[in-house]
Structure 1
Amino acid sequence: MKHLIIYAHPSSESLNATIKDYLVNILKDKHEVKIRDLNQLNFNPVLSERDLNDQRRGVVADDVKTEHQLIEWAEYLTFIYPIWWTGMPAIMKGYIDRVFSYGFAYRYVKGKQQGLLNHKKIVIINTQGKSAEEYRESGMHHALTLTSDFGIFNYCGMKIMTHFYFDRADRITSTQINDLCSTIDDIYQR
Structure 2
Amino acid sequence: MKALLVYAHPNLKSFNHAVLEAVKEEFAAAGVAFDVRDLYALSMDPVLKAEDFLAIREGKPLADVAEEQRFVKEADLLVVIHPVWWFSLPAILKGWIDRVFSAGFAYAYGKNGPEGLLKGKKVAIFSTTGGSEKDYDTYGFKGAIRTAVDNGIFGFCGMEVILHHFMHAVPAVSQEEREAMLVQVRHLVREQLLSA
TM category (shorter chain) comes to over 0.9
Q: Which amino acid aligns with 2:56?
A: Q
Q: Distance in 1 between matches of 2:167 and 2:55?
A: 38
Identity over aligned pairs, percent: 34
1:1-190 equivalences under 5 Å are: 1-29=1-29, 30-110=31-111, 112-170=113-171, 171=173, 172-190=177-195
Q: Distance in 1 between matches of 2:123 and 2:140?
A: 24
168-177 or 109-118, which deviates more: 168-177
Give 1:114 deviation, angstroms.
0.1
Q: Distance in 2 between matches of 1:91 and 1:103?
A: 22
Contact residue 6 and residue 80 of structure 1 kept, 8 A:
yes
Look up the SS of the partner of 1:78 in the other structure: strand
Q: Distance in 1 between matches of 2:133 and 2:57?
A: 40
Contact residue 128 and residue 165 of structure 1 kept, 8 A:
yes
The runs of at least 4 consecutive aligned structure 1 residues that moved more than 3 Å come to none
TM-score, normalisation: structure 1: 0.96
Contact residue 106 and residue 116 of structure 2 kept, 8 A:
yes
Give 1:187 deviation, angstroms.
1.0
Give 1:119 deviation, angstroms.
1.1
Number of paired residues?
190
Q: Distance in 2 between matches of 1:179 and 1:86?
A: 23
Give 1:53 deviation, angstroms.
2.1
Look up the SS of the partner of 2:164 in the other structure: strand
TM-score, normalisation: structure 2: 0.93
User: Which structure 1 residue ranges, 5 or more long, are not aligned?
Assistant: none
Superposed CA offset, 1:119-166 (max 9, x none): 101101100010111012112221111110111000000011110111
Contact residue 107 and residue 115 of structure 1 kept, 8 A:
yes
Give 1:21 deviation, angstroms.
0.7
Q: CA RMSD in A?
A: 1.1
Q: Distance in 1 between matches of 2:74 and 2:10?
A: 26
Contact residue 167 and residue 181 of structure 2 kept, 8 A:
no
Contact residue 124 and residue 193 of structure 2 kept, 8 A:
no
Contact residue 43 and residue 91 of structure 1 kept, 8 A:
no
Q: Distance in 2 between matches of 1:5 and 1:109?
A: 31
22-31 or 101-110, which deviates more: 22-31
Q: Distance in 2 between matches of 1:89 and 1:43?
A: 15
30-39 or 178-187, which deviates more: 178-187
